């Protein structure tokens, strides 16, 4: 029941039957029938109501079985208890697609959920696909087809597809967009998604040549891994912009590591969208403002933007907004500056942002725009104008639209005002030029265009190519390990080594005498840590001692660590202490400490983390996440977006560390989690990144100092 072919009747039905029509114009059943007829749908139209008669010039049949061919899509708007019987009649009639517009199912409580399950059972019995229940149906403005009961007329035909979990949002957006100069290709309300979900409809919608951008209103995702796979394929063809709501609703789950504590549900969604090439908007308006730019503008080659304005204040505002959105002001070439000087009065500011002064004419706007777009150092442009004193906003619009339409770089326009700018707004929208009232949303739209271009370059990247990975050895190490438990330190270290991650030798001592003997064998100074599977954060209980330089210090330390751990956690299992050689400038080059981890998300699978480690990692939150396995650009981004990663290049008196070794360790850790989903949480804190070329015994310049690995229950 997951074949895309089975969805064809929803998108190109030969005939539609509406079950539950009404002759009362105040009823939804009347509105649904009216919309279907008024939409101009060219296929067969059928109505069903036990009372029969006619409606809107069409016969009303008393039952589904009496409906003549062709009919391959049913729309049900009957009371909830009647839905199962109506579905069965559809199945017996040979109808293989149905929209259940009726509410009162899973969203209404346990009884409704049971009724919804019954409907799904019937659908599966007959090989029928379902949209809904508790939805408003779907529209196709180009076919055309309207199976909703919303107030007419349909939104204007356009290039945006809107797929929504919320019917109310569909109703509101369908009305709002009528005044925005851009129309829908599809509007799809999915409701409770008993069967058809957001992932199912992505490919059919993307295949529509009228669709240029897909927008999603999501309250969750049914199958995270499948969504990422499907969205990643679709994103290569059409941009996807998503608004995922409910960011702050979910409670925090218990976690065994800092990684697990920080990798919440929304973090996983962010990582999943990044992996799939989906742009995540923060607001409904932002989603559609981005979508309009994506539909109407060519992609930029880089992040260098130019601002052209007739007012200094908005120009500075734009400059700030561009920087905040990850873009930067372009440095204009000298010949560009000279060309601008010839076009503008002496008092004009010729360096980006370019202030042409309030006296700027429509002709100067057009000539200056043409000049800056010709500069190879400019990737995109923002034009700003409050109504110019010497002319009208409409006059400026008429002058610059021809320049924008032939440009191979994206241009967005900020027309500031309200009543005095209406002519310009209408002209821009008719010409498919994105217009905004203020610089901030315009800068956000330009940034979305850049992120889309960047995403396209990365979508075909393969996971990092890793040498010296022994998957068979890792599998043998995990055989027979207890579910829900932490791996022993020895097994954890060996598991990392199987994936080519250097570890620091760790030895368990179960008595004072053994600790002293082991420390002597390792070589002073040593680090001592309490060994307990029940104490995830050892420093919290005083369970870590550094720089123990003699047998007496080791003996005293052993007793102190054990006593503190027992006092803080009486119920904890204490196995002894772990001893490691302390990495100091005397024995091995000093380096920088970071954290690297992976947590298995129940929706999306392994989510990798990188950032500033130590005991304050949850407070600092200098971390970045990505879905595993990692491509090289994804790993690079994780380092670049964190202070911990950026300072690996060196900072003030801090010498550069082996950044490539850190990238490799992160990629290997992510691959380990991707290969073995039974690993619930993995954390290396710290991962010591050493100076380049100075790894232990000539190995990689990143060493796992402390490792914790927990298995799934």
Distance CA 373, CA 637 (A): 29
Interaxial angle between packed helices 659-675 and 471-478, expressed in degrees from 0 to 180 and rounded to the nearest 10: 60
Alpha-carbon distance of 28 to 33, in angstroms, equals 9
Domains and CATH numbers, the chain: 4-249 (3.40.50.720), 298-458 (3.40.50.261)
The structure's pTM equals: 0.91
Q: How deeply is 615 buried, as exposed, middle or buried, from its count of CB atoms within 10 A (0-12, 13-18, 19+)? A: middle
Mean pLDDT on 10-17? 97
170: its two tokens: 């569909």
Q: Once rounded to an integer, what is the mean pLDDT over residues 283-299?
A: 96
Per-residue pLDDT averaged across 308-320, rounded? 96
- In angstroms, the CA 162 to CA 184 distance is 7
Distance CA 58, CA 550 (A): 97
Nearest to 83 by CA among 106, 107, 70, 101: 101
Looking at residue 3, what is its pLDDT?
57
Q: Please report, for residues 103, 120, 231, 595, the alpha-carbon distance to residue 639 in angstroms, rounded to integers and kept in the order given.
A: 48, 46, 25, 11
Contact 665, 596 (CB under 8 A): yes
- Ranges of beta strands (E only) in 249-375 are 278-280, 304-309, 328-329, 354-355
Name every residue whose Cβ is closer than 8 Å to that of residue 12 and which is 6 or more positions away in sequence. Answer: 143
Q: Tokens 């029928």 appear where?
A: 128
How much is the CA Rg of the chain, to the nearest whole Å?
A: 31
Tell me the three state secondary structure of residue 306: strand
d(C-alpha 555, C-alpha 516), whole Å: 6
Whether pLDDT at 568 is above 90: yes
Summarised one tens digit per residue, pLDDT across range 61-78 is 999 999 999 999 999 999
Per residue in 109-127, pLDDT (tens digit) is 999 999 999 999 999 999 9
> Distance between CA 678 and CA 369 in Å, rounded?
57
Residue 383 near residue 410, CB atoms below 8 Å: no
- % of residues, the chain, pLDDT over 70: 95
Residue 314 CB: number of other CB atoms within 10 A? 21
pLDDT of residue 254: 45
pLDDT band at 554 (very low <50, low <70, confident <90, very high): very high
- Is it the case that residue 286 has pLDDT exceeding 90? yes
Share of the chain above pLDDT 90, in %: 83
**Per-residue pLDDT, 387:** 84
Closest CA to 96 of 207, 195, 167, 226: 195
Least-confidence region, from 296-300, 567-571, 610-614: 610-614
Cα distance from N-terminal residue to C-terminal residue, the chain = 31
């Amino acid at each position: 029941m997951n074949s895309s072919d089975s969805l064809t009747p929803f998108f190109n039905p030969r005939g539609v039957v509406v079950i539950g029509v009404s002759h009362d114009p105040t009823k939804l059943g009347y509105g649904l029938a009216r919309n279907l007829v008024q939409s101009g749908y060219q296929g067969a139209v059928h109505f069903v109501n036990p009372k029969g008669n006619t409606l809107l010039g069409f016969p009303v049949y008393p039952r589904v079985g009496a409906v003549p061919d062709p009919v391959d899509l049913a729309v049900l708007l009957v009371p909830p208890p009647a839905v199962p019987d109506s579905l069965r009649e559809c199945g017996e009639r040979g109808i293989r697609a149905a929209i259940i517009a009726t509410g009162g199912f899973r969203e209404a409580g346990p009884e409704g959920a049971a009724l919804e399950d019954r409907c799904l059972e019937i659908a599966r019995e007959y090989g029928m696909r379902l949209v809904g229940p508790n939805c408003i149906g779907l529209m196709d403005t180009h076919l055309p087809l309207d199976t909703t009961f919303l107030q007419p007329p349909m939104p204007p035909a356009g290039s945006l597809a809107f797929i929504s979990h919320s019917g109310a949002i569909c109703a509101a957006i369908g009305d709002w967009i009528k005044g925005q100069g851009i129309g829908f290709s599809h509007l799809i309300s999915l409701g409770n998604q008993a069967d058809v979900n957001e992932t199912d409809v992505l490919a059919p919608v993307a295949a529509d040549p009228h669709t240029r951008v897909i927008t999603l209103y999501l309250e969750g995702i049914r199958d995270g891994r499948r969504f990422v796979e499907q969205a990643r394929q679709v994103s290569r063809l059409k941009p996807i912009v998503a608004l995922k709501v409910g960011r702050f609703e979910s409670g925090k789950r218990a976690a065994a590591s800092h990684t697990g504590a920080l990798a919440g549900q929304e973090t996983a969604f962010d990582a999943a969208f990044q992996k799939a090439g989906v742009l995540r908007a923060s607001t409904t308006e932002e989603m559609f403002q981005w979508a309009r730019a994506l539909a109407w503008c060519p992609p930029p080659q880089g992040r260098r933007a130019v601002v052209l304005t007739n007012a200094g204040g908005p120009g500075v505002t734009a400059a700030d907004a561009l920087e905040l959105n990850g873009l930067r002001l372009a440095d204009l070439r000298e010949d560009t500056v000279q060309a601008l000087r010839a076009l503008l009065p002496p008092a004009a500011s010729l360096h980006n942002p370019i202030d042409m002064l309030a006296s700027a004419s429509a002709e100067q706007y057009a000539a200056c725009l043409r000049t800056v777009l010709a500069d190879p150092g400019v990737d995109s442009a923002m034009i700003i104008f409050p109504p110019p004193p010497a002319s009208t906003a409409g006059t400026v619009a008429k002058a610059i639209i021809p320049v924008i339409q032939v440009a191979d770089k994206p241009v967005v326009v900020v027309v500031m005002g309200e009543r005095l700018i209406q002519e310009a707004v209408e002209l821009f929208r008719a010409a498919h030029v994105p217009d905004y009232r203020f610089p901030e949303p315009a800068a956000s739209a330009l940034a979305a265009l850049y992120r889309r271009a960047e995403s396209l370059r990365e979508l075909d990247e393969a996971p990092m190519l890793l040498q010296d990975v022994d998957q068979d050895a890792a599998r043998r190490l995990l055989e027979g390990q207890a579910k829900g438990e932490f791996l022993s330190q020895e097994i954890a270290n060996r598991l990392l080594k199987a994936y080519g991650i250097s570890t620091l030798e760790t030895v368990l001592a179960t008595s004072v005498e053994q600790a002293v003997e082991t420390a002597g064998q390792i070589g002073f100074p040593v680090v001592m840590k309490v060994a307990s599977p029940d104490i995830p954060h050892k420093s919290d209980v005083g369970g870590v001692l550094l720089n123990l330089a003699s047998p007496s210090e080791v003996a005293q330390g052993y007793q102190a660590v054990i006593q503190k751990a027992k006092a803080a956690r009486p119920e904890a299992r204490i196995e002894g202490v772990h001893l490691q050689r302390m990495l100091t400038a005397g024995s091995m080059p000093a380096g920088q400490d970071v954290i690297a981890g992976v947590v298995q998300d129940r929706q999306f699978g392994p989510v990798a983390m990188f950032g500033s480690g130590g005991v304050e990692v949850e407070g600092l939150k200098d971390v970045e996440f990505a879905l595993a396995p990692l491509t090289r650009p994804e790993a690079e981004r994780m380092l670049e977006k964190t202070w911990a990663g950026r300072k690996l290049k060196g900072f003030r008196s801090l010498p550069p560390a082996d950044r490539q070794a850190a990238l490799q360790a992160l990629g290997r850790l992510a691959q380990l989690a991707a290969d073995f989903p039974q690993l619930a949480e993995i954390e290396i804190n710290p991962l010591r990144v050493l100076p380049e070329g100075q790894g232990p015994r000539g190995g990689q310049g990143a060493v796992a100092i402390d490792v914790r690995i927990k298995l799934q229950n």
